[in-house]
Amino acid sequence: MSFPDGFLWGSATAAHQIEGNNLASDFWALEHAANSRFAEPSGDACDHYRLFREDIALLADLGLNSFRFSIEWARVEPEDGFFSDAALAHYRDVLEACHASGVVPVVTLHHFTSPKWLMGLGGWEYERTPERFAAYCRTVMAELGDLIPYACTLNEANIGRVIRRIVANLGEGRRPRVEQAPVGLGEGPGASQPGGRAPEGHFLSQFSDTAFDVITRAHTAARAVIREVSPHTEVGLTLALQDVQALPGGEKAAEEVWAELFEDFLPAIAGDDFLGVQNYSRIRVGPEGVAPVPEDAEVTQMGYEFYPQALGSVLRAAASAGLPLIVTENGLATDDDARRVAFVRSALEGLERSLADGVDVRGYLHWTLLDNFEWMHGFAPKFGLIAVDRATQRRTVKESARFLGAIARRNALA
């Protein structure tokens, strides 16, 4: 395999899923609510808040040169208008550990979770959330921007629309299982919560036109702030993008799905430096809407189709945005690490072909570094390149991690 000089090889994470004890966040409250539909609370998670140096060193030792992680808004601003110097100092330590290990940090400023106080204001349908988010981003970038070369404002800005499709189509391209709440074609949580409703104002529950306006304005406001206080930082957002394939008679419906998940966001990202592409599988669209996974298809622990060849197709489609692309998430949940190796091999072959076709792809950040807290599903799904014994927090490197690291090393020497 051959990739460009300076290509980012790494792994992606989210603060709430690995750090542990994110007490001031909306998700922590949701996990501990009466009759919570979460399989279990996040608790200490992977204790990454304490063990980040060990985890970054493991990533670097594998031969990977980039680490995508999120700064947790609820830690930085646990109460409206109060910014924690201790939390900012912690994230400076994380960033400095990356640079000391020769690892390029790709920082996400919002990865699904928000401060509880924001929910009280109306969350992601509150008209002033964009300015609240921009103020948080201003503080982070003013304090830490000197160490942040890449910033993703929002993770999967289109996730509300993805979840709406899931609910509307009873499974959006996956094989439904009655014991499992709806999940996206990614690593994200489902739409359900106690009583079957998402918490009011929660980022993942926002399907309305108002929420679309708030979310896109939050991105553009944050981008403006980042460019003002940290002009060297490249800024973008990430989108959850499936390989949308039309079945006979479903061509128009497939175009509508792609427009809803991608094209509607083009005005908001037109001034960005890059687009983060997050892909896990395909969806097939017929005249009646999204079709279920074929009965004979292999499915992952999350219930969607094992289909790594989707990545190359999605990169070609996303290139129409006219921006450099970074694969900010791609992976699968499985207990069979040999299947993860096969998935990575096939996905990278598709990425390599897209490069050969002239698509400007700058990096591949695998989801995820550690077996982590998988939202409503708890700790059961295994997305990680590294296993975690949660009784001892001991890390065990998997063969898939060595496989990806070996590819990165070979390309670094080419």
User: Rounded CA gap, 206 and 191, in Å?
Assistant: 10
- Whether 325 and 331 have beta carbons less than 8 Å apart is answered as no
- Whether 27 and 378 have beta carbons less than 8 Å apart is answered as no
Q: How far is CA 135 from the centre of its chain?
A: 22
List CB contacts of 127: < 8 A, sequence separation 6 or more: 214
Q: Is 156 considered catalytic here?
A: yes
- Whether 282 and 307 have beta carbons less than 8 Å apart is answered as yes
Which entry of 19, 72, 77, 156 is annotated as an active-site residue? Answer: 156
AA identity, residue 260:
E
Catalytic residues: 156
